Structure 1
Amino acid sequence: MAETPVRFAILGCADIAQKLSRAINLSPNSTLYAVGSRSFDKAKKFAAENGFPPSAKIYGSYEAVLDDPDVDAVYIPLPTSLHVRWALLAAEKKKHLLLEKPVALNVAEFDQIIEACEVNGLQFMDGTMWMHHPRTAMMKEILSDTQRFGHLKTVHSFVSWAGDDDFLKNNIRVKQDLDGLGALGDAGWYCIRSILWACDFELPNTVIALRGPVLSEAGVILACGSSLQWEDGKTATFHCSFLSNVAMDIIAFGTKGSLYVHDFVIPYLEKSASFSAASTNGYTEIVTGRFALPFEHVVTTDLPQEVCMVREFSSLVKSIKECGSKPESEWPSISRKTQLVLDAVKVSIERGFEPVQVGA
């Protein structure tokens, strides 16, 4: 008997929804079932251009999508300011939720979303795709190997891309009323997630925003950075920007080793990704070089990372639907911790770069 796929609906026709439409099509356990927009014609055009089957439902409102009883899960790529409204309604309508990052404007909003999902027995996951790449699991194995890497001491993360004049004036991500978190919410989300990931999702005690953030005329963050400190002495820094050339780096140092990756958000190649790692080494006798060079690891995958994400989310949804399983709590917990740190950085900027304790 053929496997019953998870029936996905997409709310809105954002650019990132094109990538997720492809991922849903490529995932072996999901199908594009419906799309909704505030304009029926826009939704129809989006479906035609993005591989929706002829049987797909086209709706001229988000409410109509959520009222469809055959929709199993919704992907919401709407501006961050709209997340809490539409995520709450999706949960009320018993739709499992794949939500774009940042998940909310603040953790208080996100807590409303998670409570609604928990009350209704629904799976939640955010759209941080790189978490699902097999390279990520291999890198984690190295970070966890105390014989090769030792104990983590510091992490540095940098995510940026240079927006052109049109982006910096008109993109949703620089509109105070739509995505007021700016570069911190977009590029900074990846930085914070990578640091928490390296630290086994242990929250830092203190966050201090770095001086010199760049703000737009509307007060939206275009570039900023922060330092993070843990009680056991671990430290981390990050910088995120809409003003610098493309960079997506993680560097982690342990007591015995180091790890380097330069394309962690979007791999240079879709089906092959690499990173470098080094164990304890030293200098040649007269310090003309090092005698143990970093080793490059190459990880191949048949499925792009966004497809891996959809496949994992769909598997969790199917387990709930068909086996009565409980939703996996790890994913909302990770999202919440990321949002907590993001909130603390924003508060530190607003308070003149004062240290801010990270809440639980």
Structure 2
Amino acid sequence: MKSLRWGLLAAGTIAAEFAAGVEESKHGVLEAVAARSGDRAAEFASRFEIPKCYGAYEDLLADPDVDAIYISTPHPLHGEWAIRAAEAGKHILCEKPLTMSVAEAEKVVEAARANDVFLMEAFMYRLHPQIRRLAELISCGAIGEVRAVDVAFSYNFAVPRLTDPALGGGGIFDVGCYCTSLARLVSQAATGQDVVEPEEVLGMARLDENGVDEVAFGLLRLPGGILAQLACGFQLTQDDHIRVYGSEGQLYVPKPAWIHEMRKPKTSQIVLTPEGGEPEVIEVEATQGLFAREADHVAAHIADRQAPELTWAETLANLRTLERWREAVAR
């Protein structure tokens, strides 16, 4: 497999984490970075020893030495630049959510298809060995018939983009997307289906004066008769967790793969408690950083144009769920 030459479209905090991941990857190299400011792009390029920097996103897309684009702009800009990247013939890894609506996401998918380029939404947690092991335990019947799942992802500090509707503010699309993705994954593993969507979506939220959801709770009725309880927000102090309840026991993940400390190589735990039995701690080792794993996963599936864990159908199904949750809390 030849090295994939990456161009970074935006130079923020998450772009820095991805750049460090590319440096650690086996099949990726950093070729260029673009930011709204030439000085910001130059500083970022110097930090990571990136050969080229641009003060305009258009210049990055025009670079013939760039194979793939990593998009980490504010959420509402994802769709526009993903489409423009596809039209420039660049492969695309776009931060979640792919777009702020299903309608726009469908346009991105169509652009990728029409221009024959790879496209993946950057849900890096789905590639972690911990999450793969969790799905295996569910699908092999380790806790019997799955009845319910409880997922939480939140933090208690506000950054400007999260309180601004024009920047895609709100916890549902920022971190609640992980909750919906995980809950749906549990149903997929339990039922053997490739992609599922909830049969029913209910929700409540604490909205700020701009109508942005600071704290949101959701309830899903999923295929297989599975109920899901979701909690997310950026003004909420709680322990992130995953709990899956079955007819013969339960699974508990105290530190899900999406939290910051799990992005580096380390051992994580899944606690399996059989009905009436003692808890068994299952240790899962990650030998590669999560962003390095993500970069290599893209390189491995470029020829397929889609990644098996994060197909276009998977992305659209998750966005439809998010839209329904957001509509439920806005009533």
Q: TM-score w.r.t. structure 2 length?
A: 0.92
Residue type of the partner of 2:290? Answer: Q
* Secondary structure of residue in 2 paired with 1:116: helix
Where in structure 2 are the equivalents of 1:108-119 lying within 5 Å?
108-119=103-114
SS of the counterpart of 1:247?
coil
Alignment of 1:148-163 (within 5 A): 148-163=142-157
Question: C-alpha separation between the residues in 1 aligned to 2:62 and 2:38?
Answer: 16
Equivalenced residue count is 321
Residue 20 of structure 2 aligns with which residue?
A: 22
Give the distance between the partners of 2:223 and 2:252, measured in 1 at CA: 25
How many angstroms apart in 1 are the aligned matches of 2:274 and 2:181? Answer: 24
RMSD across aligned positions (CA)? 1.6
1:276 has 2:274 as partner: no
Change in Cα spacing, 1:35 to 1:326, as seen in structure 2 (3 Å) is: closer
* C-alpha displacement of 1:92: 0.3
Pairing 1:182-197 to 2, within 5 Å after superposition: 182-197=170-185
Q: Which protein shows a greater Rg? A: 1
8 Å CA contact retained: 1:102, 1:185: yes
- Structure 2 residues not aligned, in runs of 5+: 189-194
Q: Select between 302-311 and 22-31 the one with higher mean Cα deviation.
A: 302-311
Q: Deviations over 1:52-84 (max 9, x none)?
A: 34xx11111000000112211100001111111
Mark the runs of 5 or more structure 1 residues left unpaired by the alignment.
282-291, 353-360
- Letter in structure 1 aligned against 2:321: V
In 2, distance between residues paired with 1:307 and 1:248?
A: 23
In the alignment, is the contact (CA less than 8 A) between 2:25 and 2:293 conserved in 1? yes
Mapped partners of 1:344, 1:229: distance in 2: 12
Q: C-alpha distance in 2, partners of 1:42/1:80?
A: 20
2:202 paired residue number: 208
Query: Where does residue 358 of structure 1 map in the other structure?
Result: none
Given the alignment, which residue of 311, 314, 320 partners 2:299?
Answer: 314
Q: 1:266: which partner in 2? A: 259
Distance 1:94 1:220 in 2: 36
Post-superposition CA distance 1:101-149 (Å, at most 9, x none): 1111111111110111111121111111211111111111111112x32
Residues 267 and 273 in structure 1, CA contact (< 8 A), matched pair in contact too = no
Q: What displacement does 1:328 show? A: 4.1
Identity, in percent, stands at: 27
> Helix, strand or coil: the match of 1:158?
strand
- The aligned counterpart of 2:49 is 52
The residue matched to 1:293 in structure 2 has which SS?
coil
Q: Would the alpha carbon gap of residues 128 and 10 (structure 1) be closer, same or farther in structure 2, given more than 3 Å must change?
A: same
Residues 132 and 306 of structure 1 are in contact (CA less than 8 Å); yes or no, is this contact kept in structure 2? no
SS in 2 for 1:47: helix
CA distance in 1, matches of 2:143, 2:246: 6
Letter of the 1:35 partner, please give it.
Answer: V
What is aligned with 2:327? 347
User: How far does residue 100 in structure 1 lie from its aligned partner after superposition?
Assistant: 0.6
Q: Which of 163, 181, 198 matches 1:174?
A: 163
The equivalent of 2:219 in structure 1 is: 227
Return the offset for 1:273: 1.2
* Partner SS state of residue 311, structure 2: helix
**Would the aligned equivalents of 1:103 and 1:110 in 2 still touch at CA under 8 Å?**
yes
Match of 1:77, as an amino acid?
A: S
What does residue 300 of structure 1 align with?
A: 285
C-alpha change, 1:310 and 1:157, in structure 2 (3 Å) is same
- Rounded Cα–Cα distance in structure 2 between residues aligned with 1:246 and 1:34: 39
1:24/1:307 contact within 8 Å kept:
yes
Q: Aligned partners of 1:326, 1:337: CA distance in 2, in Å?
A: 18
Alignment of 1:336 with 2:316, yes or no, is yes
